[in-house]
Amino acid sequence: KLANDHGLSSLVYNNLEKQGCSGFVPEKYRYILRKSRLLSMARNAAMMHQLEEVAAITGVKTVLLKGAALELMIYGNSGLRQMNDVDVLMTREDSVKSFRLLEQNGYRSLPVKSVFHRLIIDHIGKHLPSLIKGGLSIELHHDLFDTVASDLNRAFFEKSEKTSTGSVKVFLPEPCIFFLYLVRHIDKHEQLD
């Protein structure tokens, strides 16, 4: 339960198998962990396909964030990093244009607070409302460190390196700046809880 609550079931199962320790886990729980791993692999594959579609539709520089970046950088695209959505970074201008393009290509936006909120959405917050297609969600971020740290935002975007996921080029963040962002992101979530 704890492994599942923290999104680590797939990693736990993999490590138990790798170390030859899965036999020490009761069959019932081993089955649950294995099933979680297979579901994670399938979901991550679908999300990577969605990411390729988003990059192809938008045609702009797309930097992977959070789970999608960790999956490729650390886990080797093997389903070990359980994800609920795909988060990407774009420039503010590109995120607004991409948002509209994606809506024209079958993505639906989660409801905004009001019609007036829609007019200023790109000037507040760190990302636009989630876009959903086929049960999968993507968030287009345009700010990571707040405007007070605009140099970090710019460095995060500019120092990212091109990589391939299938037929489409996306960008992975520079590891040190990515680490700073992840620490800040976790800290913000801790403060909210």
Contacts of 54-58 with CB under 8 Å at 24 or more apart are 54/86, 54/88, 54/98, 54/102, 54/138, 55/168, 55/169, 55/170, 56/167, 56/168, 57/98, 57/101, 57/102, 57/105, 58/90, 58/94, 58/97, 58/98, 58/101, 58/102
Whether 123 shows a pLDDT value over 60: the answer reads: no
pLDDT in tens, 68-122: 898 888 887 778 888 888 999 999 899 999 999 999 999 998 766 555 445 445 5
Percent of the chain with pLDDT over 70: 87
CA distance 68 to 59: 19
Q: What are phi and psi of 51, to 5 degrees?
A: -60, -40
Is residue 141 a contact partner of residue 87, using CB atoms and an 8 Å limit? yes
> How much of the chain, in percent, has pLDDT values that exceed 90?
40
pTM (predicted TM-score) = 0.81
Long-range contacts: 44-47, Cβ < 8 Å, 24+? 44/71, 44/77, 44/79, 44/81, 44/82, 44/83, 45/79, 46/134, 46/136, 47/83, 47/85, 47/86, 47/136
